[in-house]
Amino acid sequence: MVVIQKKIKKIDFGILPPDTVRKMSQIRIVTPDTYDEDGYPIEGGLMDLHLGVIDPGLRCKSCGNRMVSCPGHFGHIELVRPVIHVGYVKMVYTLLKATCKSCGRILVPQEEIEKYKELLARDTEGETEEDELLDIIASTKKVSECPHCKAQQATVKIVKPTTFYEDEQRLLPSDIRRRMELIPNEDLIVLSINSARARPEWGVLTVLGVPPVTTRPSITLETGERSEDDLTHKLVDILRINQRLRDNISAGAPQLIIEDLWDLLQYHVTTYFNNEVSGIPPARHRSGRPLKTLAQRLKGKEGRFRYNLSGKRVNFSARTVVSPDPNLSLNEVGVPKKIAEELTIPEQVTEWNIDHLKKYIESEEYPKANYVIRPDGRRKKIGELNREDVIEELEPGYLVERQLKDGDIVLFNRQPSLHRVSMMAHRVRVLPGRTFRLHPVVCKPYNADFDGDEMNMHVPQTEEARAEALSLMLVQDQIISPRFGAPIIIGDQDFVSGGYLMTKSGVSFSRRLAERILVKSGITKMPKPDVEKDRFSGKLLFSMSLPTQLNMDYKNRLCKDCDKCLKAKCPYDAYVRIRKGKLLTGVIDKVSYQGILLDTIFREYGSDAAREFLDGSTQMVLVALMDQGFTASVEDSDISDEAKKKIQDLIADAERDVNLLIKMQHDGELKRIPGKSLKETLEDNIMAILGKARADSGNIAAESLGNDNSAMVMSRVGARGGILNVTQMAACVGQQAVRGGRVLRGYRNKSLPHFKEGDVGIDSRGFVRSSFMKGLTPIEYFFHAMGGREGLVDKGIRTAKSGYLQRRLINALQDLVLRGDGTVRDATDTIVQFQYGEDGIDPQKCYGNDAVQFKKETIYYDEVERDNVEDVREEGEEYE
């Protein structure tokens, strides 16, 4: 494949001079008609074949190419009278005010001009402040006599958008153009107008460029009717008025009529450039929809810049629903066969792989080749008919596009792509079904769940791209988040509960089950049974997924912060001790899976080891979890009658306290919190009492449910939900908040029609006594919905606001790159930081926020306690 790589060095901006517009033009457009009765483009019309072709079968009269290969060519319209370009009104206005009406010089004495020029020269060297340069325009304001030719100056006024008056006298665009022509180039420099690129008179148009038809294609409706592009409509308007103006002038119509038509032409040209100019009504389609003209095509989120230039559509991509599959490696993505058959990877034919590639071409089913590309760039689809021929002619230099197969590198992405781990490289695993499959541990970086989320896949097409994806973007290398320097690819939910249930003290497995657990996680060595003959402890089995030499001590989530830590003898299984890759004490929970254990493995043993640990341990933990069974049913929220009674009493007590407070406030006995009104004080106190009541009732419920209750287990080990969820399910849902306080709104002096006016009791202000288990009363339900609604509204606003914040941040910081000399610089090579982060440390390699870890333990492990832990693996027996 021959690649000609040209690099664009720079792009110049300027105004198109009228001569250039004529030179660029292939044809002068004169008639407002587009097609004749046969539907053939009219010569000299807006669809003239010189402007390019959009109909199949026709040839371009300028370049002779057909539809796709003709790039389109410009035409032009000669305007009978000049009109002002809306985009340059501001420049024209400034110049009219700042220059002399008779000699065109800037209204500043010569020596001042020289001074400014000098300033300007220094400015390009970055030595002056921008503000000094603005002064020159301001300094011309009060000048009434030209310092060069002594002519008296008039005041110029503008009526937006495009009409000018000089001392109440209308300034016609032709006058303005003449005035602009007078201004000498030397004076323009001072006004920071680059006269080589933009002579001011070019801002008053005498000739209008007509864009190629390819930029304003018409569409043929089902009825066979043609529907023209908005730009074409606008150009038709301009041509019509231009024609009428010409006719009237040659007919010698009165000046008034000519000026009216002239203004109309100005209106059409103005709206042709920008249909959202303030001061004039936007041009509308017959249906009443405002036309989308040039400025609208560029502007905003759906404009050319943001929609087509900053973001481009790509080939070799796929999108479908995602679903979970813990049997995959976290590096893998399950790709539906249908997608794998469609997407291809180009393989260069060499003398070494030619036989191998021929097999793909030969094959009639799945891993086959879809296309062959000849060295001359011609692409051939492989089908029944030409299969033999293609194999025959295949030789080094050809490209074979073969279907995606297991092990290929692809990029996988879920929107919104808020951070870089929203797009990672995975290895393909072709699977039956119609959904992408991913390992649940990578949900967190993608922020994916499986309630219908869709994700995108991209297939890199060059060796370079694949190499970069593999070495920079592979999932296993993203385990540590660059935001906070701790694992972001983590086992959560079931993996945590599973880890707990498997490694809890006293849990053991039969040989059969142990074999299943180990095989599932790809371990082919059996440890020696450690509980009794043929019984294996969960801790032992879990250890099999740990790196062999791992030594660690840490406290897990169950730690109760005892006064004196018993360390390995912890009665709560909260002290985790790992020696030589064997889990000696402690239980696996959230802390292990989402923090220190995974973190340490990644750092000490690298990303391969971390991947192996996550893949292996999540597998075994799930087998263990499924073996034991882990459910939460209505029964799990059912607490004893005794507890129910206690909770009722508790809430009754709280209600009494609240009523007492209200009474105190009535009697003026309540002590005000400094700085708060009495009412606020009361509300605060009530909220505190009710909050405490719910917390207490939660504790009663928790006690009644016991530690083995599923919800309690999940909340204790950090799998899902907290004690609050247990409370709400089993004990009491509690106070519903709207706007950070109790429900106050609704009716006059009451929250709902069911209450008396002025009722301040707990029930009327959104306290929900019931638990979800018991069920909410209609009134409670309503209050609960009020709180819920607020949450939804809040979320909506937040996403919009934070989205914009993100866009601004990215835009402001995107050019900052860490350079080879350790500095951070922007696109102009200006130094923003002399040393990145003041120490040059990569946040992704940080330990939390710290650049390094002080590992006194290393010594400790090495010398003090490399005690006699037997290596479970080495002495284990092999099984098949």
Partner 1 sequence: MSDSLEKYVGKLPMAIMKKLREETKDLKAAEARKVADNVLEQFLKNQAEPGEAVGIIAAQSIGEPGTQMTMRTFHYAGVAELAVPQGLPRLIEIVDLRREPKMPIMEIHLQDDIKSDEDKVISFAENMENVDMKELASIEEDFVNKRIIVVFNEKSLNEHGISLDDAVKKTEKEVRRKAKNKEGNQMMFEPGFSTLRSLRRFAARLNKIKLCGIDGIHKAVVLPEEDGSGWFIKTEGTNLKAVLEREGVLPSSVQSNNIREIEEVLGIEAARNAIIREAKMVLDDQGLKVNPRHVMLVADVMTYNGKTQSIGRQGVSGAKTSVFARAAFEETVKHLHNASIQGTKDELKGITENIIVGQPIPVGTGLVKLGMK
- Give the nearer residue to partner 1 in terms of CB position, either 485 or 616: 485
Q: Which of 433, 606, 843, 876 binds partner 1 (CB under 8 A)?
A: 843
Interacting span for partner 1 (CB under 8 A) from 359-367, 492-500, 675-683, 691-699: 675-683
Residues 187/106, Cβ–Cβ less than 8 Å? yes
Q: CA-to-CA distance for 377 and 849, rounded, in angstroms?
A: 52
Interacting span for partner 1 (CB under 8 A) from 309-317, 390-398, 647-655, 705-713: 309-317
Q: CA-to-CA distance for 419 and 480, rounded, in angstroms?
A: 13
- Give the nearer residue to partner 1 in terms of CB position, either 48 or 553: 553
Q: Which of 44, 161, 290, 303 binds partner 1 (CB under 8 A)?
A: 303
Q: Which of 39, 642, 837, 870 binds partner 1 (CB under 8 A)?
A: 837
b (16+ CB within 10 A) / e for 845-857:
ebeeeeeeeeeee
Q: CA-to-CA distance for 514 and 623, rounded, in angstroms?
A: 10
Q: Among residue numbers 716 through 745, which ones bind partner 1 (CB under 8 A)?
A: 740
Q: Which of 560, 819, 874, 875 binds partner 1 (CB under 8 A)?
A: 819
Q: CA-to-CA distance for 750 and 748, rounded, in angstroms?
A: 5
Q: Does position 462 bind partner 1 by CB under 8 A?
A: no
Q: Which two tokens stand for residue 280?
A: 């004039």
* CB 250, min distance to partner 1, A: 34
What region does 57 belong to: left with phi over 0, alpha with psi -120 to 50, or beta? left
Interacting span for partner 1 (CB under 8 A) from 324-332, 338-346, 507-515, 809-817: 809-817
Q: Which of 141, 150, 840, 870 binds partner 1 (CB under 8 A)?
A: 840
Q: CA-to-CA distance for 251 and 10, rounded, in angstroms?
A: 50
Backbone angles phi, psi at 412, to 5 degrees: -125, 140
Interacting span for partner 1 (CB under 8 A) from 46-54, 239-247, 648-656, 840-848: 840-848
Query: Would you give the binding string for partner 1 spanning residues 741-780, x where CB under 8 A is met?
Result: ----------------------------------------
Q: CA-to-CA distance for 426 and 419, rounded, in angstroms?
A: 17
Residues 536/581, Cβ–Cβ less than 8 Å? no
- Give the nearer residue to partner 1 in terms of CB position, either 275 or 704: 275
Q: Which of 181, 247, 449, 680 binds partner 1 (CB under 8 A)?
A: 680
* CB 473, min distance to partner 1, A: 11
Interacting span for partner 1 (CB under 8 A) from 145-153, 212-220, 375-383, 412-420: 412-420
Query: Would you give the binding string for partner 1 spanning residues 416-435, x where CB under 8 A is met?
Result: --xxx---------------
Q: Which two tokens stand for residue 127?
A: 């030595």
Q: Does position 606 bind partner 1 by CB under 8 A?
A: no
Q: CA-to-CA distance for 359 and 364, rounded, in angstroms?
A: 10
* CB 399, min distance to partner 1, A: 22
Q: Which two tokens stand for residue 52?
A: 């390019």
Q: Does position 222 bind partner 1 by CB under 8 A?
A: no
* CB 468, min distance to partner 1, A: 6
Torsion of CA 119, 121, 124, 130, to 10 degrees: 20
Q: Does position 817 bind partner 1 by CB under 8 A?
A: yes
> What stretch of H or E contains 584?
strand 582-585
Q: Does position 801 bind partner 1 by CB under 8 A?
A: yes
User: Across-strand partners of 878?
Assistant: 525
Look at the block and give the residue holding tokens 């999932």.
475
Q: Which of 379, 676, 745, 789 binds partner 1 (CB under 8 A)?
A: 676
* CB 293, min distance to partner 1, A: 11
Q: Does position 824 bind partner 1 by CB under 8 A?
A: yes
Look at the block and give the residue holding tokens 């206690």.
646
Q: Does position 816 bind partner 1 by CB under 8 A?
A: yes
How far separated are the first and last CA of the chain, in Å rounded? Answer: 49
* CB 549, min distance to partner 1, A: 16
Q: Does position 788 bind partner 1 by CB under 8 A?
A: no
- Give the nearer residue to partner 1 in terms of CB position, either 706 or 840: 840
Q: Which of 745, 799, 870, 879 binds partner 1 (CB under 8 A)?
A: 799
266, 303, 293, 313: which is closest to 89 by C-alpha?
A: 266
> DSSP labels for 706-736?
-TTSHHHHHHHHTSS--HHHHHHHHT--EE-
Q: Does position 848 bind partner 1 by CB under 8 A?
A: yes
- Give the nearer residue to partner 1 in terms of CB position, either 356 or 819: 819
Q: Does position 832 bind partner 1 by CB under 8 A?
A: yes
SS3 742: coil
Which alpha helices (H) appear in 141-229, and where do they start and end?
A: 173-182, 185-190
734 C-beta neighbours (distance < 10 Å), count: 23
Q: Does position 828 bind partner 1 by CB under 8 A?
A: yes
- Give the nearer residue to partner 1 in terms of CB position, either 352 or 854: 854
Q: Which of 820, 867, 877, 880 binds partner 1 (CB under 8 A)?
A: 820
Q: Does position 259 bind partner 1 by CB under 8 A?
A: no
Question: How many residues touch partner 1 (CB under 8 A)?
Answer: 98
Q: Which two tokens stand for residue 87?
A: 């985009």
Backbone angles phi, psi at 849, to 5 degrees: -105, 0
Q: CA-to-CA distance for 524 and 392, rounded, in angstroms?
A: 47
- Give the nearer residue to partner 1 in terms of CB position, either 260 or 857: 857
* CB 603, min distance to partner 1, A: 9
Q: Among residue numbers 849 through 868, which ones bind partner 1 (CB under 8 A)?
A: 849, 851-856, 858-859
Q: CA-to-CA distance for 503 and 497, rounded, in angstroms?
A: 10
Q: Among residue numbers 181 through 220, which ones bind partner 1 (CB under 8 A)?
A: 192-194, 196-198
SS3 588: coil
Name the maximum alpha-carbon separation found in the chain: 117
Half-sphere exposure of 615 (CA within 13 A, CB side): 21
Q: Does position 794 bind partner 1 by CB under 8 A?
A: yes
Q: Does position 1 bind partner 1 by CB under 8 A?
A: no
* CB 453, min distance to partner 1, A: 16
Residue type, 771: S
Q: Does position 798 bind partner 1 by CB under 8 A?
A: yes
Query: Would you give the binding string for partner 1 spanning residues 8-27, x where CB under 8 A is met?
Result: xxxxxxxx------------
Q: Which of 433, 818, 869, 871 binds partner 1 (CB under 8 A)?
A: 818
Q: Among residue numbers 312 through 331, which ones bind partner 1 (CB under 8 A)?
A: 312
Q: How many residues does the chain have?
A: 880
User: Across-strand partners of 84?
Assistant: 204
Residues 585/570, Cβ–Cβ less than 8 Å? yes
Q: Does position 671 bind partner 1 by CB under 8 A?
A: no
- Give the nearer residue to partner 1 in terms of CB position, either 149 or 852: 852
Q: CA-to-CA distance for 782 and 795, rounded, in angstroms?
A: 20
Q: Does position 675 bind partner 1 by CB under 8 A?
A: yes
- Give the nearer residue to partner 1 in terms of CB position, either 149 or 467: 467
> DSSP labels for 372-416?
EE-TTS-EEE--TTTHHHHHHH--BTBEEEEEP-TT-EEEEE-SS
Q: Among residue numbers 68 through 107, which ones bind partner 1 (CB under 8 A)?
A: 87-88, 91
Which DSSP state fits 828?
A: T
- Give the nearer residue to partner 1 in terms of CB position, either 220 or 830: 830
* CB 710, min distance to partner 1, A: 27
- Give the nearer residue to partner 1 in terms of CB position, either 524 or 830: 830
Q: Which of 17, 44, 290, 482 binds partner 1 (CB under 8 A)?
A: 482
Are β-strands 423-431 and 332-336 bridged in parallel, bridged antiparallel, or unpaired? parallel
